Structures are given as C-alpha cells and as structure tokens.
Amino acid sequence: MQSTITKCNFKLSLVALAAFSSNPAFAQEQQGTHERSQTRFSVGVAVISSTEAYLGQETDTLVVPAISYETENWYFRGIELGYRPEILRENGLVVFATYSNASFDPDDNSNAQLRALDERPFRIDSGLRYEQDWMLGKFSAETAINLRDFDTGARVSLQNAYPLSDKPYIFQLSPYIGVNYLSKDYANYTYGVDTQDTEISGLNTYQLGSTYTVEYGLSGYFRVNRHWTLAANIKLEHLSQDIKNSPLVSDSTNQSAFIFVTYSF
C-alpha cells in the first residue's frame, strides 16, 4: 500500500493519539515521572504510522501533538482520561475513558464497495483497568464498553510487558504481548456486514460471534535529561480467522509504529 501524509484529518489524529496514550512506552514514561512528582505536565510531538487491515485502506503517516497531565488522583495522556483515588491505587485499579479506533469511515477508503457503506462512528471506551508488577514484568487487565452506544458490545484486554532495564529513570525497553476478547456486538460493529450493508454495497452478508485478536510489540524510552524524553513503539495486532474472513478485511494484521519527544515541566 502507498503511504500518504495526512495533515488535517481530525479522525486520524484521534486514532494516533489513542494509540499513543494507551501504549506501554508512554504509560511507563509517565508513571516514572509521576513517581518523582505529584503533578507533572508534558508537551511534545509524535510521528505515527498506522495500517489497518480493512480492504482498500492505505497506510497513514502523520504528526500529532503529545500532551499529558498527571496528578495523584487523575491523569490525562494523549486522549485517555484516568481516575485513580487512593482506594483504587492501593489495589492497582484505575477507572478510564478513552477514544477507541474501532470504527470505520468510508471516506478514508479507496475500495468502491466499502466507500458505499455507512460510517461506523468512533467509540468512547470506558471501564476498569487492573495493573500489577510481578515476576514476569507488568501485567494489566481491562474491560470496557462504549459510552456512546451500549449496544456496540464490550472488550476485555490482557497484556504483559517485560521491562528489561534496571535503570527506569534513565531508559527502558519492554517487549509486550496481549490478547483482546471482543464480544459478538463489538466484533460485528467493527468487521461485520449486515443485510443493509449488503443492499447498499453488494458485499456478502457476514456476521461474527465473539472473537479475539493477539498483539505483540516493543516499546521503550530514553530520558535525555530531567525535561526531555524520547520514546518509540512498534505493534502488530494479529486478527483471528473469523475476522480475516470478513469481506471488509484484506490483511491479517493491524500495524502501528510511532516515535515521540516530550518536554516535562
């Protein structure tokens, strides 16, 4: 697929910030600075490239601002808002709300049949996340539903990252692996083709049951000094066979990579 530079696309900016804010590299870097200060504000810039598995979808590369704000009880990272009062922190829990890129915009697609489909608007996924350090690294588990439309299903995600550095205040490198369970409604909202879709596009009707994806990647950061931080990440998300069989899909993976630089006040 031919890579294109997108300058003024609001949806793609949200997609990029969602990937940025939920990424292990960003979370680890912000958690490290938070440990040294009750309140932390950072600004920067990120260059992000992403390729979705949809038929007719091109690779997008763009530059977006990277902003975070951390307090003892609240945080804002890119496009995720989190709440962690003491009673939750003591148990490794956080309540969060974040933009989700589990959506479809026909205007961003080059395939004639997919361009005929109705838009599937972005989700605001909100739920509870559990995080815990253990002998095999950093484990997290979360469950989320779409605040904009409860009928679009739920997601459960498990992830484990293994930090390799024993000097996290200077640098960190963390390979990670995760699995995402998608409910039936979630899977069909993202990859299904119903009878109405068939009538307007000519695509074969296709409905999924509950399914899953598996992701793995590598994230890391380097603190140049007290204020400046460089970080990067690469991630591959492998789709289950029933997702790959969808008429909307032409590839077996969603792919993303980014590099960012931030300045902390």
Render pLDDT for 192-244 as a digit per residue (tens, 0 to 9): 999 999 999 999 999 999 999 999 999 999 999 999 999 999 999 999 999 99
What local confidence, expressed as pLDDT, does residue 1 receive? 43
Distance CA 130, CA 191 (A): 28
What integer pLDDT is reported at residue 48 of this predicted model? Answer: 84
pLDDT for 71 equals: 93
**Stretch (H or E) spanning 62:** strand 60-70
Q: DSSP states of 191-237 as a string?
A: H-B-HHHHHHH-PPPB---SEEEEEEEEEEEEE-SSSEEEEEEEEEE
Burial class (CB in 10 A: 0-12, 13-18, 19+), 189: buried
Extract the residue ranges of the chain whose pLDDT is less than 70: 1-38
Parse the chain into domains and list their residue ranges. 4-264
